[in-house]
Amino acid sequence: MFFLSFIRRDREIEIYQENVDVNFKLNQLSLKITENSRHFDLFFQERTEENRALYQNSRSEITELMQEIEAEIRRDQKSRTFYRNLSNMLDYHDQLAAELFNSSVFNQTTYQKLTDIDTLYSYMNSHTQNLINSYLAYHSSNYVNLLVDTQNRSKTIYAVVILISIAVFIFAVLMSNSILKTIEKLSSSARYLSLGHWEIEDIEEINYRELNILGQTFNLMKKNIRNYIQELKEKSELENKLNQEKMENIEKERLLKESQLLNLQMQMDPHFLFNTLNTVSRTAMFENAAETQNLIIAISKIMRYNLDHKGKMVELKKEIEVLKAYLTIQETRFKEQMDFEIITEGSLDQIEIPPMIIQPIVENSIIHGLADTDSEGRVIIEIKRFSDKVEIRVRDNGIGIESEKLNKILTEQPQNKEKDERESLGILNVIKRLKLHYGKNLLKINSKVKQGTEVIIEIPIKKEKEGSKK
């Protein structure tokens, strides 16, 4: 309603502005006719091209003004009559002016035409004033009628607005109760949801469109939150798995760096060292020191093996040869205190293992298992091939390992004492290197205190190796 009132008010202003514009142009028309009369008289007095141009420009402006006001003037019958008479006078004036311009002789006829044109200018000025008055009267009447109509419409609008307001108020009071109940239901569901009850029932369809959208959005939000929590759980599990893999990778990198550091520490000039050992070996041979010569050859063989096979897989046969060299040194060292035996079953051809896997186990048996043994110490290395694996057993009859300490070794837990940690270092190193190469721990330990220890390593045989062998 108020919008219509504003439109009506804008229309009043527009009509009033149009009236002002037309009246202004009518006054301009009156002035231009007077100006055109003056330029016409000057031209016939002075006969200059300048005055003629001024007259023609003035006449063109009169024509433009007539065209601009024509549409508005024709709305009123009386004003239309004055406009038509004025238009005919201008046409007759143009006819007389053209005849005078084309005449080169000034005579009685020419004088009469000039007199007619002066009279015509007088009539045109009079008709212009009549046109102004007629249009002003027409427009004033219309504007007054428009104002009266607007006032009547405004009264009607205000009455309608009051009635509608009363109806809306009554309707709002009736609707508010229903809306408040629905909102209370929504807020109750929201409270349950805030307490973490994600399994509450969905809000049913609501009659009010906006509240129904809110209810459906609430249902969607609940579902999305539930899905998001599930995604967070899955992501958390995945992150834990990734972190575990990351820790394993870090451990692998640490072992690799330790190995690299060890290699750097061992990087003496191998040629110088081997040449020196050969020189000492030959000296021992010339001196008939066979045992010393055997020891130097065993040391040389072990050192060359370590330098040539850093980080590479080696044949099991070569590992056994180096183990024998190591045992040669230990037999010389411990003499009657302990003895060693290597037993192999089955073909060991084309079987590869990580280097220095057996020797640390044997060394652990000698140093920690049989260190306090004065005699009858025994270490047996048994290597047996099966269809899908190679089993390596290292048994000793030493002091054994306590169950708590054994459990910490197998689970790679830190030792309580520096001595215990140093004693388990060789076995832990083997366990970690087996994990690096095969992805799992292949080492098992059976031990009884004061009875001895048995270490079992099961190396899987790769299928392609089997196929190539066959």
In a domain? residue 303: no
pLDDT, residue 399, reads 86
Residue 6 has pLDDT above 60, yes or no: no
Q: What is the pLDDT of residue 372?
A: 74
- Specify the pLDDT at position 271: 47
Q: Which helix (H) or strand (E) holds 380?
A: strand 377-385
For residue 459, the model assigns a pLDDT of 92
Domain boundary among 156, 179, 205: 156
Q: At residue 301, does pLDDT exceed 80? A: no
Mean pLDDT calculated for residue range 221-242: 84
- Provide the pLDDT for residue 393: 94
Q: What CATH number is given to the structural domain containing 133? A: 1.20.120
- Is 277 part of a structural domain of the chain? no
* pLDDT of 462 over the 70 cut: yes
Sequence-separated contacts (24+) of 68-73 with Cβ below 8 Å? 68/25, 69/22, 69/25, 69/26, 69/29, 72/18, 72/22, 72/135, 73/22, 73/131, 73/135
% pLDDT > 90, the chain: 7
Please count the other Cβ atoms lying within 10 Å of the Cβ belonging to residue 222: 20
Beta bridge partners of 389: 460
Q: What is the pLDDT of residue 68?
A: 84
Q: What integer pLDDT is reported at residue 454 of this predicted model?
A: 92
- Model confidence band, residue 280 (pLDDT cutoffs 50, 70, 90): low
User: What average pLDDT does the segment 20-42 reach?
Assistant: 84
Give the mean model confidence (pLDDT) for residues 198-224: 75
Higher pLDDT among residues 162 and 184, named by residue: 162
With respect to residue 270, please indicate whether it lies within any of the assigned structural domains: no
Distance (Å, whole) CA 428 – CA 181: 71
Q: Which of 395, 393, 394, 397 is nearest to 373 (CA)?
A: 397
Which H or E element spans position 390?
Answer: strand 389-396
Domain boundary pick from 134, 156, 178: 156
Give the confidence band of 276 by pLDDT, cuts at 50, 70, 90. Answer: low
More confident residue, 305 or 89: 89
Encode pLDDT of 419-433 as tens digits.
555 555 678 888 888
Q: What are the distances in angstroms from CA 84 to CA 78, 90, 94, 218, 463? A: 10, 10, 15, 75, 117
User: Residue 419: enclosing H or E segment and its boundaries?
Assistant: helix 418-438
Q: Between these two residues, 104 and 263, which has the higher pLDDT value? A: 104
Q: Compute the average pLDDT of residues 85-113.
A: 80
Question: In the prediction, which pLDDT does 432 show?
Answer: 85
Quick: pLDDT tens for 347-404: 888 888 888 889 888 888 888 777 777 788 889 999 999 989 999 999 998 888 888 8
Query: Does any domain span residue 418?
Result: yes
Q: Is the dihedral of CA 232, 238, 244, 248 positive or negative?
A: negative
Is position 269 within any domain? no
Rounded mean pLDDT, 289-302? 71
- Measure CA of the first residue to CA of the last residue in the chain; give whole Å: 102
Domain that holds residue 141: 2-156
d(CA 441, CA 430): 9
Question: Higher-confidence residue: 340 or 420?
Answer: 340
In a domain, 340, yes or no: yes
Residues 112 and 99 sit within 8 Å (Cβ to Cβ): no
**pTM attached to this predicted model:** 0.43
H or E, element range at 338: strand 338-345
Q: Which position has the higher pLDDT, 144 or 445?
A: 445
Helices and strands in the chain: count of H runs, count of E runs: 12, 7
The length of the chain is: 470
Average pLDDT, the chain: 78
For the record, the structure tokens of 420 come out as 């215990």
The token pair that represents 141 in the structure block: 């009447």
Q: At what angle do helices 316-334 and 290-308 cross, to 10 degrees?
A: 140
CATH of the domain at 441: 3.30.565.10
pLDDT for the residue 7: 62
Q: Which residue has the higher pLDDT, 323 or 228?
A: 323
Q: Name the percent of the chain lying above pLDDT 70.
A: 81
| Residue of 355, 382, 387 whose CA lies nearest to 469 | 387
What gap in Å lies between CA 185 and CA 165, rounded to an integer? 30
CB 39 within 8 Å of CB 51: yes
d(CA 130, CA 194): 84
Average of pLDDT values for 240-248?
85
In a domain, 445, yes or no: yes
For 449, residues 6+ apart whose C-beta sits below 8 A from its C-beta are 399, 400, 401, 402
Among 124, 156, 188, the domain boundary falls at 156
- The answer on pLDDT for 89 being more than 50 is yes
User: Higher pLDDT residue, 192 or 36?
Assistant: 36
The closest alpha carbon to 194, from 229, 222, 224, 223, belongs to 222
Burial of 160 (0-12, 13-18, 19+ CB in 10 A): exposed
Section 264-291 average pLDDT: 58
The predicted pLDDT at position 272 comes to: 45
| Residue range 246-256: mean pLDDT, rounded | 76
Total domains in the chain come to 2
Instruction: Say if 213 falls within a structural domain.
Output: no
